[in-house]
Amino acid sequence: ETGVTQTPRHLVMGMTNKKSLKCEQHLGHNAMYWYKQSAKKPLELMFVYNFKEQTENNSVPSRFSPECPNSSHLFLHLHTLQPEDSALYLCASSQFRDISYEQYFGPGTRLTVT
Amino acid sequence: AQSVTQPDIHITVSEGASLELRCNYSYGATPYLFWYVQSPGQGLQLLLKYFSGDTLVQGIKGFEAEFKRSQSSFNLRKPSVHWSDAAEYFCAVGASNDYKLSFGAGTTVTVRA
């Protein structure tokens, strides 16, 4: 595997389910990001981890819970979601948490909440 | 706080024709500017970026962009599009003392034969 991978690629869940999204980067980066992409809206930064420490929580509802066990893996735990949470969730990584370092994006997980 | 506007939601262009995508930003200081492309089913890929220096920036896949401070713009261009250029394009702006990117809502490009 190369680059940034995300699993699953598609997920359908009910509002009472609990599920997790997984992201893995094979680039040796130290910063990882979760973004939410809704149709025809700008990408929304949700969480940022730098050297496994959470440095950003962009007013995200508590039904989204991130976890970063090491610099290569990032999870997004989901529970009691709402239909408006349906979106494409993108993971990204960069060598350092700095604007001058390119963010590399995974293909995303398409989440549908029913 | 910085923000980005991409005025065109959807553009259709013929294969071989030129393409220009508009991006206007709002930021008080010198911005860091980016263009990303997202092909169907893919994540975002960086096409080019501007930090300082020459205001005409060359990127991958034959794209270029020009920073115009007086117009607060960073428009993306390609002289001759290929069918594989059909995708969604995002402009983003950041600040030198921060790591966050503010993205536009994107422009969808359709290429007709």
As a whole-number percent, the residues of chain B with pLDDT over 70 amount to 100
Band (pLDDT 50/70/90 cuts) for residue A51 is confident
Q: List the single best residue of B24, B44, B93 to mutate versus A (max A Cβ within 10 A).
A: B44
Q: Which residue of A has its CA nearest to B8?
A: A40
Cβ–Cβ contact B43 with A under 8 A: yes
Residues of A in contact with B103 (CB under 8 A): 42-43
Interface check for B5 against chain A (CB to CB < 8 A): the answer is no
pLDDT tens per residue across span B9-57: 999 999 999 999 999 999 878 899 999 999 988 899 999 999 988 999 9
**Cβ atoms A88, A110 nearer than 8 A:** yes
Report the C-alpha gap between A39 and B40 in whole angstroms: 13
Backbone dihedral angles phi then psi of residue A21, each to the nearest 5 degrees: -100, 145
**pLDDT tens column, A54-109:** 888 888 999 999 999 999 999 999 999 999 999 999 999 999 888 888 999 999 99
A65 backbone dihedrals φ, ψ, rounded to 5°: -130, 115
At B95, which amino acid appears? Answer: A
pLDDT for res A72: 95
Nearest by CB to residue B46, choosing from A4, A43, A102, is A102
Decide if A41 and B105 are in contact by the 8 Å CB cutoff: yes
